[in-house]
Amino acid sequence: MPLQAEILIIGGGLAGLTAALHLNKLGFEVALIEKSVYPHHKVCGEYISNEVLPYLNWLGIDLRNLLPTQINKLQFTSASGKQVNTSLPLGGFGISRHSIDNYLYKLAINNGVNVIHQKVDQVTFNENHFLVETTSGTSFEARYVLGAYGKRSAVDIKLERKFINQKSPYLAIKAHYRSNFPNNLVSLNSFPGGYCGVSKVENDVLNVCYLASYESFKKHKDIEAYQENVLYQNKNLKEILQEAEMIFDAPLTISQISFQQKEPVHHHILMLGDTAGLIHPLCGNGMAMAIHSAKIAAELLAKHRLNTSADRFELEKNYTLAWKRLFSKRLQAGKVLASFLKNKIVEDVAINIAAKFPAVLQKMIKYTHGKPITILDL
Ligand SMILES: Cc1cc2nc3c(=O)[nH]c(=O)nc-3n(C[C@H](O)[C@H](O)[C@H](O)COP(=O)(O)OP(=O)(O)OC[C@H]3O[C@@H](n4cnc5c(N)ncnc54)[C@H](O)[C@@H]3O)c2cc1C
């Protein structure tokens, strides 16, 4: 006999946990399935845009005790030695995923969310109900399912999502370090085949996280050789890395990162965060988008519950429209920004323009970010 849930969330990263907290606050009976135990590190730049703060406050999420750094300056450097510095209009904060995901998980548990530590294997939809099966053999029946399982999962193969068969030419590497680095700065440093984000998180820890093309990475023996031969071509990055002392035993890596278009709704599942679409990490906005997508799904589910005559298709249509209205332009701007890095000459011209005309850079930052997420439209 399958276990019953009104709403089942697959994946307990930022999108899944935020959705669980929001839906729980609205009185829904929520279950969340997460494959990993908390706390755990994640490959991520760990810079979160301040646009999420009003919404987090409304959810009763107060991150101050986690001692995040306050970040209001951005530096961009290229391998050819060009550099541009600017302020971040809205700013953000630095916090490790180890810390924030664990905090949200504990809050969800305290608030009564049912968190199950298993790995979802497949989801089927029949007669207006979902059947969700895990690799441990447990089955759940749910009226609604939210997919918040990140960039890529075996579930996507079973769901026959288009992007899963397309090329994913990037990998990403991250580690924490001790270093003298300003608390209020996020430094983005490009190198042939990728870029590296550097910023401080809580407890005076420096997070260094980079995205690299598999094509450039595979020519080198290991991570150390890759860093020395390729990342060090950017002098600023070389100085940062040589001065820093790694805290992790070894860097974390993930592969198969794809920026292919996805669908916000697939197989009647409302997709949240990276499961719906991945913005280029250069924009530093993926976590804010994950949190924001949880908000729009929770609000629409609440409206849907009130309108007993509305059917599921209306909910799906409204979620797709809201998702596209909020995030499509950002994803597009991220693609344009990332395309500049692919060509050295274009990159240098773009940096020169940005250095001469700060308003252009400010506009680009604005296009890749959202406005503060208010709760007025709840
Ligand atoms: C190199 C890099 C740097 C980045 N830097 C930044 C940055 O500085 N700022 C920013 O805002 N964004 C950044 N991002 C993007 C950001 O990390 C993501 O957008 C964000 O993590 C999305 O959150 P999520 O909840 O959608 O997914 P995730 O955080 O990936 O959570 C998904 C969860 O689902 C679980 N899961 C997966 N499969 C299953 C399954 N079958 N069953 C059960 N559970 C499952 C996973 O264990 C995981 O906990 C970066 C991304 C990359 C790749």
Q: What is the pLDDT of residue 1?
A: 83
Is the CB of 251 inside a 6 Å radius of any atom of ligand 1? no
Q: Is the CB of 10 under 6 A from ligand 1?
A: yes
Residue 184's pLDDT band (boundaries 50, 70, 90)?
Answer: very high
Distance of CA 122 to the CA centre of its chain: 23
Percent of the chain with pLDDT over 70: 99
So what's the pLDDT on residue 378? Answer: 45
Contact 82, 75 (CB under 8 A): no
Closest atom of ligand 1 relative to the 173 alpha carbon: 1
Q: Which of 44, 50, 152, 255 to mutate to test the pocket of ligand 1 (most atoms within 8 A of CB)?
A: 44
Q: Which are the contacts of 236, defined by CB distance < 8 A and separation ≥ 6?
A: 75, 77, 83, 187, 189
What domains lie within the chain, and their CATH numbers? 3-40+94-164+259-368 (3.50.50.60)
d(CA 28, CA 300): 13
Q: How far is ligand 1, taken at its centre, from the CA of residue 19, in Å?
A: 14
Q: What is the pTM of this model?
A: 0.96
Q: Output the pLDDT for position 310.
A: 76
Query: Is residue 168 scored above 90 in pLDDT?
Result: no
Whether ligand 1 lies within 6 angstroms of the CB of 51 is answered as no
- How much is the average pLDDT of 247-262? 94
pLDDT higher than threshold 80 for residue 377: no
Q: Output the pLDDT for position 376.
A: 54
Q: Which residue has the higher pLDDT, 207 or 365?
A: 207
Tally Cβ neighbours within 10 Å of residue 124.
Answer: 12
Contact 250, 197 (CB under 8 A): no
To the nearest whole number, what is the mean pLDDT of the chain? Answer: 94
Q: Which of 68-72, 163-167, 220-224 has the lowest mean pLDDT?
A: 163-167
Please say whether the beta carbons of 75 and 185 come within 8 A: yes
Predicted pLDDT of residue 373: 93
Of the two residues 377 and 254, the one the predictor is more confident about is 254
Question: Whose structure tokens read 């997070």?
Answer: 207
Indicate the DSSP class of residue 61.
-
Average pLDDT over residues 3-26: 97
Q: Is 273 a residue whose pLDDT tops 90? A: yes
